[in-house]
Structure 1
Amino acid sequence: MPTLDLTAEQRAALDRPVWSALTTGHRTLAEGAAHARRYPAAIAPFAAMSDESDAAWSELADLAKDAVVAIVTPAPPGDLRGLEARLRADIRQMVAVEAVDPVGDAAVEMLDRRDVPAMLELTALTKPGPFLARTHELGRYIGIRDGERLAAMAGERMRLDGFTEISAVCVHPDYRGRGYAQRLVLTLMAAIRGRGETPFLHVIDDNHAAIALYERLGFVSRTSLCFTVLRRSAAPATGDGTFGKKPSGAD
């Protein structure tokens, strides 16, 4: 089985992917202060802290005052200090270690803001993870259509030095079994590698079918992380229902 060859610095960055992205590849999108940052709420719910200090937790609570935030940490957070967990899930981080030849001949198209209604409809149906009205601004999103219908999609989410995350991999139930997810993921992998970067992704730890697919496409499991959705204690639930239940898809 292929093995990962990462430096200590790369491993540390991948252990804290949200903070790494918000301080490198996506730093221009970051909102917050020195110890806690988040993506704009209309783009993604992800937030992160520089450390576990009181100052960092206080800044994170400020970022969660109007909407939930989602953090990704090496271990479940302990004392939430003014916040409460709305959802927790174990996720597996996988990193691509080898190139795989493309499969299938379905036409792949670029997606943009004009496709947002179709993208939101597909992700609401398949629940691959958080996807909001401006999530497509994070990177390159591609899809496969059947006429005017969006049958499948995938895209790039977090970007950190040397790595780009593949996310929102989803296929409409009517089009499963045609290799669409594989074709989209391999297309994104080739583009990411073409920029001199390494593809990585996150998948719910018990989604064995997705894990097996990604292993066939050249990914290996690197570590397990904890995905936690937080809101301020006693605050009313906000948002669009994205976190109503554990996400079932591939990120």
Structure 2
Amino acid sequence: MSAENPASPLDNPVWGSLNGAHRAFAEYAGSGAARYLLSANPFAALADPEDPAAWADLAALVGPGQEVWLTGLLTPPAGWETVAVVPGVQLDGRAVRVEHAPDAVRLGPADVEEMTALVKLTEPGPFLPRTVELGTYLGIRHEGRLVAMAGERMRPPGWTEISAVCTHPDFRGRGLAARLVRAVAAGIRDRGDLPFLHAAAANTGAVRLYESMGFVLRREPVFIGVRSPKAQRDDLRNTL
């Protein structure tokens, strides 16, 4: 990387998270691969996606014939199977106006069942039983019912990703998502980090909302599901 274009933690956010703030949620193999605990986040990362040794470490970490998700600008080597490709956007939120939301409530492990139900209904992205432990999650309730939420996921050095932004269909059009994004971003800024987020490129409505709030397109990564090479077995031949 040249001095004119220095590396950023956002270039490899999963790796930065797993070797920093989220080390307690990480599993490692060698010096080239890491992944989140499967109960917290489906993503893994490579120290250097162009290094064959890092891919070998990842294969050892996940086991033969297993699926794992990666993000970035990468091409799997021979033997790996690509099973899903989701074009995405990465948005820089340093210019977003932040504002705490007094009516938002902190969500935790006791709320996971409700949070999971809302995610299944609205499909903002993966949300697993321990995802809520990765950072601060805020929600808005109406008559006790969780109707909107947003929270924190990856935490590369100096940055925190805003994730799981969703609103129940019956409560859309009221600005709840924007309020929660600003509130989560306020907490991120309070501790000295900068907010960013990812979205599927096809989710144009969400991308337009984020851009209207001040998020700026930084790059267009790909979310890619890959399957590790199957175990090699010697041919077994009967001998007489």
Q: The TM-score by the shorter chain falls in which range?
A: 0.7 to 0.9
**2:86 matches 1:96:** no
How do 1:124-203 and structure 2 match up within 5 A?
A: 124-203=120-199
Q: Are 1:110 and 1:141, in contact at CA under 8 Å, matched by a contact in 2?
A: yes
The one-letter code of the counterpart of 1:136 is: V
Counterpart CA distance in 1 for 2:106 and 2:54 is 38
Q: Partner residue of 2:234?
A: none
Query: Deviation of residue 59 (structure 1)?
Result: 1.7
TM-score (norm 1): 0.83
> CA 1:101–1:37 in structure 2 vs 1: closer, same or farther (change >3 Å)?
closer
The one-letter code of the counterpart of 1:95 is: D
Q: Partner residue of 1:74?
A: 73
The one-letter code of the counterpart of 2:54 is: A
Q: Are 2:62 and 2:228, in contact at CA under 8 Å, matched by a contact in 1?
A: yes
Of 53, 67, 91, 1:55 maps to 53
**2:7 matches 1:45:** no
Q: Are 1:69 and 1:229, in contact at CA under 8 Å, matched by a contact in 2?
A: yes
| Greater radius of gyration (CA) | 2
Of 61, 64, 68, 2:62 maps to 64
Q: Partner residue of 2:236?
A: none
Query: After the TM superposition, which segments of 4 or more aligned residues of structure 1 sit over 4 Å from their partners?
Result: none
Q: Are 1:38 and 1:46, in contact at CA under 8 Å, matched by a contact in 2?
A: yes
The one-letter code of the counterpart of 2:123 is: K
CA RMSD of aligned residues (A): 2.1
Query: Deviation of residue 233 (structure 1)?
Result: 4.6
Q: Are 1:16 and 1:74, in contact at CA under 8 Å, matched by a contact in 2?
A: no
How do 1:7-26 and structure 2 match up within 5 A?
A: 8-9=5-6, 11-26=7-22
Query: Deviation of residue 54 (structure 1)?
Result: 2.5
Counterpart CA distance in 2 for 1:175 and 1:85 is 37
**2:113 matches 1:117:** yes
Query: Deviation of residue 24 (structure 1)?
Result: 1.9
Count of aligned positions? 225
Q: Partner residue of 1:245?
A: none
The one-letter code of the counterpart of 1:160 is: P
Q: Which runs of 5+ in 1 are unaligned?
A: 1-6, 236-251
Identity percentage of aligned residues = 45
The one-letter code of the counterpart of 1:223 is: R
Of 208, 224, 227, 1:228 maps to 224
Counterpart CA distance in 2 for 1:19 and 1:89 is 19
Q: Partner residue of 1:84?
A: 81
Q: Are 1:44 and 1:131, in contact at CA under 8 Å, matched by a contact in 2?
A: yes
Q: Which runs of 5+ in 2 are unaligned?
A: 232-240
> Is the partner of 1:159 in helix, strand or coil?
coil
